[in-house]
Amino acid sequence: MLSTTSFETGQPLGLGPLALKPLPLLKVLWRITISFVGSWAEIQQLALIGSSSSLHSEACNALGASDGVIHSKNPKIIHNNDKVLRYVQMIRDENKRMHSQVENVLRISRLEKNEIEISKETVDLHDIIEDAISRIGLLIADNQGRLDLHFEAITAEIPGNQFHLTNVIVNILENALKYSEGAPKIDVYTESTNKFFVFKIKDEGIGMSKAVQKLVFNKFYREQKGNIHDVKGHGLGLAYVKEIVEKHHGTVFVESEKGVGSLFTVKLPLI
């Protein structure tokens, strides 16, 4: 993660108002750009395996923002701290998305090659679900959304990895938020059988066709129709979900209808 500091104070560059002179701010922009371009060169090979369009878009956004200030001859931009800071924020946001993209690519690659050992212990999936929900609670609130829990599983203990299972649930919940129009409405259900713990995450979002349902767990897949291309993401979240669930000897599938919503079901073996 890029750590940027003020050239005047030596303190971390925050997101709030800063009383800095134009010259130091331009130096900050230049440092960010050099760091970004270096990172971009290192991950070009990763981009070639399927997400080059998304990575290229983020690279152009960040470099375009830096060029907008560094090469600007307009004094209204160069000497306007608010505008310069807005460009800095744009670069930081795109750099974060690039960083997240690379991390996801590497994580999935290592999982597929069995280079990541997923240690397991007895975990309570009801606790994990509640923890995952707490992590995106602010996002739901910011979108005036609603999430209802329906815990009906008699037993919720399975052999699992708390870190990865939490990420699985967060990814599905974030997917529900991304593809909801207006205020999101999400329901989380749990049930148990003699051998399995089952949880379901239902949304009332835009839904997907039968054809898309067959591809949605593929790496880098994102439907490119309608307004879906406006949604930020790289098509890696659900691929990661599938990989982790299968590492836990479980299954995941989706049922969906265009204009109605989606239902993701995860089935994991009990102890």
Burial of 75 by CB count in 10 Å (0-12 exposed, 13-18 middle, 19+ buried)? exposed
Per-residue pLDDT 10s for the chain (271 aa) are 333 333 333 344 333 434 344 445 445 555 555 454 444 444 444 444 444 444 445 455 555 555 555 555 556 555 667 766 776 777 666 666 666 666 666 777 777 777 777 899 999 999 999 999 998 888 898 889 999 999 999 999 999 999 899 989 999 999 999 999 989 999 999 999 999 999 999 999 999 999 999 999 987 666 654 444 344 444 468 988 998 999 999 999 999 999 999 999 999 999 8
Residue 139's pLDDT is what? 86
SS3 state at 267: strand
How many CA atoms, within 13 angstroms, populate the side-chain half-sphere of residue 44?
A: 5
pLDDT reported for residue 82: 76
Determine the pLDDT at residue 99.
66
Angle, helix 81-112 to helix 52-70, in steps of 10 degrees: 160
Tokens 């996002």 — which residue?
A: 139
Query: At 161, is the secondary structure helix, strand, or coil?
Result: coil
Fold for 121-269, please state it: Heat Shock Protein 90 (3.30.565)
pLDDT at 242: 93
All structural domains of the chain with their residue ranges? 22-112, 121-269
Q: What is the pLDDT of residue 68?
A: 54
| pLDDT at residue number 251 | 98
Long-range contacts at 64-71 (CB < 8 A, ≥ 24 apart): 65/90, 65/91, 65/94, 66/29, 66/30, 66/32, 66/33, 66/36, 66/91, 69/26, 69/29, 70/26, 70/29, 70/30, 70/33
Q: Would you put residue 259 in left (φ > 0), alpha (ψ -120 to 50) or beta?
A: left
Q: What's residue 17's pLDDT?
A: 39
pTM above 0.75, yes or no: no
